[in-house]
Chains A and B, each alone.
Chain A
Amino acid sequence: MSTTGESLSTQDEVTAEIGAVQQRYRDDVAAGRQHTVDTLLDFPPYRSSELRHPTKDPHLVDPETIELVSPAFGHWEVAPIEADLTNRHVGGEPQGQRMVVTGRVLDGNGRPVRHQLVELWQANAGGRYIHQRDRHPAPLDPNFTGAGRVITDDEGRYRFTTIKPGAYPWRNHLNAWRPAHIHFSIFGNAFTQRLVTQMYFPDDPLFALDPIYQSIPDQKARDRLIATYDHELTTPEWALGFRWDIVVDGPQATWFEQDGDQA
């Protein structure tokens, strides 16, 4: 199935495919034919994955020293203003619902990931990226570029001030819309923990329809990508507050124990 062909699938067809792939995954795990994974790489409902997923299982390796550590980042490398996506332009405030997004980056043992880089990028309130290849005919916002970064503190905390991104259409299938999301890139305590993901907002009606969000077959795992609205974090007369903790893990516990099966 081609994304560029004249015959795009309907949403109903894609939704049915999502259900079928997830059911097959669950059956394969139950029958011991498949490792549990968080995110399926071979996920035909996401059309662009067709030619970009490996067909072979990754080889299990013992991590070496370099893989068990991460690059170092200094607080001096990132200016405080890079955590505020609403205040980087003398021209004025961006359009949209101002909000604070904060949380902690933790490892699987609950230890903070200190002094590591968190990057974020997102669409504007109308669902448009500043990226030149974004063709969505929603207005660009001259006061919003939609990218920020921060170095986590001693407790692994990050905090961004931004605006809530809009949902946006894409050409995966007919009438395809991505749920509102913010892209995150996170460094852990080891390079094996490197993570790029997307944060979503509670109760989005587009969740069930989105082949990217649904590429995670387990509902509990999907739920971990959804931020929590936090009224304590909400600032009167200023901004809504959302909290989202991020857990990076590995090498252990990324997969279940079938470790002896790799030739």
Chain B
Amino acid sequence: MSRLPRTPGQTVGPFFHYGTEWPRMNEVVAPFSPGSVLLEGVVYDGAGEPVPDVMLEIWSADSDGTIPTAPGVIGRDGHTFTGFGRAHTRPDGHYEFWTREPGPVDERAPFYSMAVFARGLLDVLHTRVYLPDDAGLHTSDPFLAKLTDEERATVIATRTAEGSLRHDLRLQGDGETVFIRF
């Protein structure tokens, strides 16, 4: 059966901010609400410089492993878990989301699915952000098992002293984030 050819991607460009924002778009759940976690980090380029014009998106299951099906991503009501968030990096390359830690789906290691767009990046990049506390599930995960230790470290968040999740992205070079295709 012949498939329709896909529409190619193009860079999000430098001027995406005002066209891709809405209030509380990076707050999948209300900050500091029960069960909430801060997921934050910095995006770096191949020279190790922070990237100030990145659009990041996360999409994940709820903490009990439920796949979100409720609308309300733009019209956030403050209590429905929609699973989706979007963040623009600040001038210092920093991003942050308030969300929940996903639970295992189909007994697999849970992760945030992440999409990366930026000026200078000609098409979307997909990656995953796994949780630091699931070492047992990581060992048996078919994707993580194929990675070297160094590569695996680029897709697993770290836990800060405050209990937040810290996850930096490196678009190029030393410690380059592992990106995925499907």
Interface flags for A43-68 (1: CB within 8 Å of B; 0: not) read 10010111111111011111111110
Interface size class of A (residues with CB under 8 A): 35 or more
Instruction: Provide the bound-state CA to CA distance between A106 and B49, in Å.
Output: 38
Q: What is the CB-to-nearest-CB distance from B22 to chain A, in angstroms, rounded to a whole number? A: 9
Whether B126 contacts A71 by the Cβ 8 Å rule is: no
Q: What is the CB-to-nearest-CB distance from B101 to chain A, in angstroms, rounded to a whole number? A: 13
CB of A185 within 8 Å of the partner chain: yes
Q: Which of A72, A123, A255 contacts B73 (CB 8 A)?
A: A72
CB of B75 within 8 Å of the partner chain: yes
Chain A contact residues: helix, strand, loop or mixed: loop
Whether B146 contacts A247 by the Cβ 8 Å rule is: no
CB of B166 within 8 Å of the partner chain: no
Nearest CB in chain A to that of B3: its residue: A108
User: Which of B33-41, B62-70, B132-140 interfaces with chain A?
Assistant: B62-70
Whether A225 contacts B10 by the Cβ 8 Å rule is: yes
Interface flags for B116-130 (1: CB within 8 Å of A; 0: not) read 011111111110000
Interface-centre pick from B8, B16, B72, B120 (highest chain A CB count, 10 A): B8
Chain A residues, Cβ within 8 Å of B10 = 39, 183, 196-198, 212-213, 215-216, 225
Whether B182 contacts A61 by the Cβ 8 Å rule is: yes
CB of A31 within 8 Å of the partner chain: no
Chain A residues, Cβ within 8 Å of B70 = 72
Interface flags for A104-147 (1: CB within 8 Å of B; 0: not) read 00111110000001011111000001110110000000000111
CB of B84 within 8 Å of the partner chain: yes
Whether A54 contacts B176 by the Cβ 8 Å rule is: yes
Chain B residues, Cβ within 8 Å of A220 = 5
Whether B4 contacts A109 by the Cβ 8 Å rule is: yes
Interface-centre pick from B1, B6, B47, B180 (highest chain A CB count, 10 A): B6
Instruction: Provide the bound-state CA to CA distance between A129 and B16, in Å.
Output: 10
Interface-centre pick from A73, A109, A196, A220 (highest chain B CB count, 10 A): A196
Interface flags for B40-64 (1: CB within 8 Å of A; 0: not) read 0000011101010000010111000
Q: What is the CB-to-nearest-CB distance from B52 to chain A, in angstroms, rounded to a whole number? A: 10
CB of A83 within 8 Å of the partner chain: no
CB of A101 within 8 Å of the partner chain: no
Q: A58-B179, A74-B75, A194-B115 are in contact. Are A65 and B120 (CB under 8 A)?
A: no
Chain B residues, Cβ within 8 Å of A55 = 46, 172-173, 176
Chain A residues, Cβ within 8 Å of B8 = 38-39, 197, 216, 221-222, 224-225
Instruction: Provide the bound-state CA to CA distance between A46 and B13, in Å.
Output: 11
Whether A191 contacts B115 by the Cβ 8 Å rule is: yes
Chain B residues, Cβ within 8 Å of A147 = 18-19
Nearest CB in chain A to that of B76: its residue: A77
Q: What is the CB-to-nearest-CB distance from B108 to chain A, in angstroms, rounded to a whole number? A: 6
Q: What is the CB-to-nearest-CB distance from B67 to chain A, in angstroms, rounded to a whole number? A: 6
Chain B residues, Cβ within 8 Å of A78 = 74
Interface flags for B1-29 (1: CB within 8 Å of A; 0: not) read 10111111111111111111000000000
Q: What is the CB-to-nearest-CB distance from A112 to chain B, in angstroms, rounded to a whole number? A: 12
CB of A10 within 8 Å of the partner chain: no
Q: Can you sample 19 A-B contacts with CB below 8 Å?
A: A38-B6, A38-B123, A39-B10, A39-B122, A58-B125, A61-B181, A65-B106, A66-B59, A71-B73, A72-B68, A74-B72, A74-B75, A77-B72, A185-B20, A191-B115, A196-B11, A222-B8, A247-B5, A255-B181
Interface residues of A (CB under 8 A from B): 38-41, 43, 46, 48-56, 58-67, 69-74, 76-78, 106-110, 117, 119-123, 129-131, 133-134, 145-147, 183, 185, 191-192, 194-198, 212-213, 215-216, 220-222, 224-225, 246-251, 253-255, 262-263
Other A-B pairs, 9, CB within 8 Å; known A54-B171, A122-B19: A38-B8, A51-B120, A58-B180, A60-B180, A64-B108, A123-B15, A133-B15, A195-B9, A212-B10
Interface residues of B (CB under 8 A from A): 1, 3-20, 45-47, 49, 51, 57, 59-61, 67-75, 82-84, 102, 105-106, 108, 111, 113, 115, 117-126, 142-143, 146-147, 171-173, 176-182
